[in-house]
Amino acid sequence: MSSREVALRAGVSRSAVSRTFTPGASVSDETRQRVLKAAAELGYHVNHLARGLMRRETGIVCLVAADMSSPQGSRLVRGIAEALQAIGKVAMTISIAGPDDDAASALQKTIDYRADATVILSGTPAQSIVRTCLDNGQRLILISRDDRIEGPDNIQLDNTGAASAACRAFLRGGCRRLAVVNSELGTPALMERETAFVAAARAVGLEPVTVRHGRATSYDSGVSAGRRLLTGPERPDAVFAVNDLMACGVMDVARLEFGLTVPGELSIIGFDDIPQAGWMSYSLTTFSQPVDRIAQSVISLISAGRDAESASARIVLQPEMIWRRTVRV
């Protein structure tokens, strides 16, 4: 069925049918209902891909993510996908978990489908993927990474401010033997948190212990890092973990294997505010990643459009510190 048959059945013009199925277009409620009724009776569906190709837009936005199995990764993908859906866009999600060649092959789909924009949600995908998008004329939005190349828009968190605030919180609670736990993944956001925490401690004359363990910033990596920290001769009395999963691993080792009380003998702060951080067994003090604001920033950038001569945007969002029960006061 075509829009012509729908227009004839509804007794309206073809342009009225087109406006009915175009988000934000002007059409009376009466006309809209007549068109929708006729379309349902005829089994008519809009071919958005074909329509988009005529307008040089497809309505597709590609989300490239490397950590969708993590609580924070899945929250971010879901939040952006729902926000895109609300403005009539379609999210194409590509999981990047293997070698760079696999990533490049997967990314080719965004070019084949002529995605209106590509959003890279983590620091893991190689810079070559970023360049592939740019070389093919893709509108590119980077989240929590800064590749220092011309072209992409950037949405970042104030990791430095958050890590410094974590250090100050420990100091107010009387902690002086500080440590920071990270993985060996080495993404820009994770390294920024580690570096800023170390700098804040050194600024007050303290030398924190740094432990990096595991290729994934996971609960298991936190467990292993916690064992290394707590078996050393200088056991810390405060640990800043670069994400909540690692913080939970450190906390479980401290309580269950070493018999330490949290926060009495060991204060802990994480980052992300994943659902598990609020569970009664953890009640973890952490920093909340503003998923809703990240999603709305993506929508604002895509909706605003951008020509080839416009400067790229850089948006910095502030994580909120969520106080719970893992820091001495």
What pLDDT score does 111 carry? 63
Of the candidates 295, 185, 175, the one whose C-alpha atom is nearest the C-alpha of residue 240 is 175
Looking at residues 23-51, what average pLDDT do you find?
Answer: 80
Same domain for 259 and 147: no
Share of the chain above pLDDT 70, in %: 83
pLDDT digits (tens, 9 = 90+) for 56-98: 567 889 888 877 778 888 899 999 999 999 988 988 888 776 5
Classify each residue of 163-180 as buried b or exposed e, where b means 16 or more C-beta atoms within 10 Å of its C-beta: bbbbbebbbeeebebbbb
Same domain for 231 and 111: no
CATH of the domain at 40: 1.10.260.40
Asked if the model's pLDDT at residue 101 lies above 50, the reply is no
CATH of the domain at 192: 3.40.50.2300
Asked if the model's pLDDT at residue 233 lies above 80, the reply is no
* Encoded tokens for 280: 């009664």
Asked if the model's pLDDT at residue 19 lies above 70, the reply is yes
3-class DSSP assignment, residue 97: coil
Please name the residue that has the structure tokens 């994400």.
243
Give the containing element (helix H, strand E) for 240: strand 238-241
Same domain for 163 and 282: yes
In a domain, 299, yes or no: no
Amino acid at 293: R
Q: What are phi and psi of 291, to 5 degrees?
A: -55, -45
Asked if the model's pLDDT at residue 182 lies above 90, the reply is yes
Same domain for 135 and 189: no
Lowest-confidence range among 12-21, 267-276, 293-302?
A: 12-21
Q: In the chain, how many domains are there?
A: 3
Same domain for 245 and 229: yes
Please, which residues have CB within 8 angstroms of residue 135's CB and are 6 or more apart in sequence? Answer: none
Q: pTM score, two decimals?
A: 0.78
In a domain, 296, yes or no: no
Q: Is 188 exposed, middle or buried (0-12, 13-18, 19+ CB in 10 A)?
A: middle
Amino acid at 79: G
In a domain, 318, yes or no: no
Determine how many CB atoms are found less than 10 A away from the CB of residue 306.
14
Helices 244-256 and 219-230 pack at an angle, to 10 degrees, of 50
Same domain for 165 and 277: yes
Looking at residues 301-326, what average pLDDT do you find?
Answer: 84
* Encoded tokens for 305: 């459009």
Give the containing element (helix H, strand E) for 76: helix 71-86
> End of a domain among 95, 124, 151?
151
Same domain for 163 and 267: yes
d(CA 323, CA 296): 25
What pLDDT score does 183 carry? 94
pLDDT digits (tens, 9 = 90+) for 138-173: 788 888 876 667 778 899 999 999 999 999 999 999
The domain of 20 spans 3-46
In a domain, 329, yes or no: no
